[in-house]
Amino acid sequence: MKRTRPVAAALVGVALLVVVGCAPDGSKADDEEKGPSPLPSHAFHPLTGADIPQLETETTSDQDAHIHVAIPQIGTEDRVNAALAGFGEQQIDGYREALDGGDAAHAFLSVTWSAIGSSATMLGLLLTGETSPGASTALSQRTVWYDAEQKQVLSLRDLVTADGLDTVEEQVVSELEDHVIGADIEGAREIVREGDPAFGFDEEGRLLVGFDAYEVAPGSEGATLIAIDAEPDALLTSAGAEARKATLSPETLEFATPPAPTPRDVDCEVKKCVALTFDDGPSAATTPRLLDILAEEDVRATFFVVGSQVQARPDLVAREVVDGHEVGSHSWSHPDLTVLSDDALRSEVSDTHQAIVDATGVEPRLFRPPYGAHNDAVDAVLREAGYAEAIWSVDTLDWQHHDPVKTAAAASQAKPGAIVLMHDIHAATIDAVPDAIRSLRDQGYEFVTVSEMVAPVEAGQVYFGTY
Ligand code: NI
């Protein structure tokens, strides 16, 4: 995998026009007298002049198999990246299947992309796959609309109202009936209602809904784009109006941080509480997988992050907060704070604080000194900065043995009120987390953040757990 081509070049360089209704094999010539007129030709309005920060192209190529797949990726925006990468993988799988190990001499797969919308909170991307496994060429189009505020990939149903969806369905059906012999009308209805058609806007702001070659029309029709004639107000949701604006009057996308979920009121005097804590991150290689696991298991944890890593990966720390976890400080560069000068100690604390606030909008209240090493000088500076210290009561030693079985076993030895120490920078630790969660849950534990466990947090306190 190599990264190529900066975004600005990509935006102006790949203005893609999908020509529909063409008959590459010329087989329609005989029907011209009595046949229907071809589908009108439409194109998504390509975006020019808006900068999309953090957008990079990842290119997969295989010279022997004639594969060239260029997919946009956005920083650490995992959800949209997965959707985008998924299209590329699907195209490659389909192409290899069609080749069936045969000679690629007269075949190719090419995937390109262009931006079709960008506002302060929303991004629209068009991916186009062109496959030619033999004499014919098939076009696939996927649009990905991403709400960067909610961190959600949007579907057609998010952009149009319920009434609007009826309008879309009616007009798609009538266009296909009027212009395409042998159209799969029921298939088209189903794709509009439940499937994943391409969608976006043309230069006049009309909604376009698209289908792949062979999806609803015979292959000779190529990829099909249908324009929906309706007043935008009657057709679109507020997200749809934002997407339309993102196409017609593009602005620079900003990756805003949505508000953090409110802390829960858990009574750990009554319930069996355990606080899982993860230090030394965030790590682009391991933290996203941990966040996926915690989200799936509905478990909140506490992350003690290193300031220099926060600066490198602010999106990951933002996601930790958005997902409901607590973020505490673990210093800027992970030194033994007890040997630092007063100035160096203070900047370790204040620089990290600022990086966390910049990334998340949330003021951290907890500090975990590296190695658990603190003395009177460290305690005084942290108290003055408004921090409580969070040490631990269960050390899994995950960093030492890198053994998921041992890590999970150590974590599941927790007593009610335990603070469990792990590190989200080791793949073996992430491997241990599902088993640790299962074991603790079987014992009746509630998973809380450190602040929820010790509530209310008091500056100057040093917490090891609550037993
Ligand atoms: Ni550490």
Q: Which residues surround ligand 1, an ion (CB under 5 A)?
A: 279-280, 370
Told to judge if 93 belongs to the known catalytic residues of this protein, a careful annotator would answer no
Structure confidence by residue, pLDDT tens digits, 172-198: 999 999 998 889 999 999 999 999 999
CA of 275 to the centre of ligand 1 (A): 17
From the list 423, 424, 426, 431, the catalytic residue is 423
Q: 26-40, 65-79, 155-169: lowest mean pLDDT where?
A: 26-40
Dihedral sign, CA of 394, 261, 426, 374? negative
Q: Is the pLDDT of residue 233 over 70?
A: yes
How many Cβ atoms are within 10 Å of 365's Cβ, its own excluded?
19
Alpha helices in 125-220 (DSSP H): 156-159, 162-179, 185-194
CA distance 356 to 333: 14
CA distance 371 to 374: 9
The amino acid occupying position 180 is V
DSSP class of residue 38? P
Q: Is the pLDDT of residue 82 over 70?
A: yes
Q: Is the pLDDT of residue 230 over 80?
A: yes
CA of 337 to the centre of ligand 1 (A): 12
User: What mean pLDDT is predicted for residues 65-79?
Assistant: 86
Structure confidence by residue, pLDDT tens digits, 102-144: 777 788 999 999 899 998 889 999 999 998 866 567 888 999 9
pLDDT reported for residue 136: 63
DSSP class of residue 424? T
Structure confidence by residue, pLDDT tens digits, 415-455: 999 999 999 999 999 999 999 999 999 999 999 999 999 99
The pLDDT mean for the chain works out to: 87
pLDDT reported for residue 39: 85
Structure confidence by residue, pLDDT tens digits, 303-337: 999 999 998 888 899 999 989 999 999 999 999 99
Told to judge if 423 belongs to the known catalytic residues of this protein, a careful annotator would answer yes
From the list 279, 315, 351, 424, the catalytic residue is 279
pLDDT reported for residue 149: 84
CA of 279 to the centre of ligand 1 (A): 5
CA of 294 to the centre of ligand 1 (A): 20
More confident residue, 55 or 205: 205
Q: Is the pTM of this model over 0.85?
A: no
